[in-house]
Amino acid sequence: MQLTITLPTLDRWRTAPSIDTLRSLYDASADQWHDNLARLGQLHDYQLLFENPVVGDRLHHLDQASHILDCGVGTGVFSLALLDSIDQPAHVTGVDISYPMLTQAQQNLADRCPTLDVRWGNIRRLPFADESFDAVIFAHVLEHMADPVETLREMVRILKPGAPLVSSVTRKGLGQLLLSLRWQNRGYAANQLDAFLKTAGLETVRSFDYGAGWSRWMCIAAIGVKANTN
């Protein structure tokens, strides 16, 4: 008798996890999340991403009157990297499904962003008016969405015309497969991410590899701007 062993494929998580499952996972990890990202070097890598000239050129307009939305804000590390890359403070709104994560974000961002607004919310149905933000950012939330394009369209909806969206996602591959055993996350190739962003209504889309370390092998970043209808 021949024994056949079937390994999970890269598409193992065809069905996106429920919001309750995600909340439970991130609630349990909130206290260690910031330190874990620091050990992996992602805090530094995020800073380098926002210092990239291509990204910086799309963010130079941000000032004290600007409103930035961080979708799936977590402990606030992506927002911190953005704020460190611009000359003036800006209004930051952070949305997340995990209350413990929001507590951490409040603590991490309060000194850097005096007008901080963190709130519980589902990024698939954002509670904001059309064209109300000067930039949208997110890191590692799209991988949990059943329909990534529809989620991106919701983010694009609240962007002002000509405003940028900056994203970071998990790269499709063996590392992502191993992570998915716990986090139930998909992974994407650069061309997939670019196609998602363009289909959602963004122009001048460009994806980036991170420079070194964990992020180089595990992550892809991308930026695009909302089409200007004028």
Give residue-wise pLDDT tens across range 167-223: 999 888 776 666 665 666 788 899 999 999 999 999 999 999 887 777 888 899 999
Can you give the pLDDT at residue 180?
A: 62
- 7 pLDDT above the threshold of 80: no
Q: What pLDDT score does 124 carry?
A: 93
Cα 210–216–221 angle (5° rounding)? 40
Name the nearest CA neighbour of 173 among 222, 221, 220, 223.
Answer: 220
25, HSE (Cβ side, Cα atoms, 13 Å)? 17
Distance from C-alpha of 171 to C-alpha of 218, rounded to nearest angstrom: 5
Torsion, Cα 214 179 102 215, to 10 degrees, reads 10
Percent of the chain exceeding pLDDT 90 equals: 59
pLDDT score at 8: 41
**From CA 33, how far away is CA 101, in angstroms rounded?**
8
Residues 86, 135 contacting (CB under 8 angstroms): no
* CATH class assigned to 33-226: alpha beta
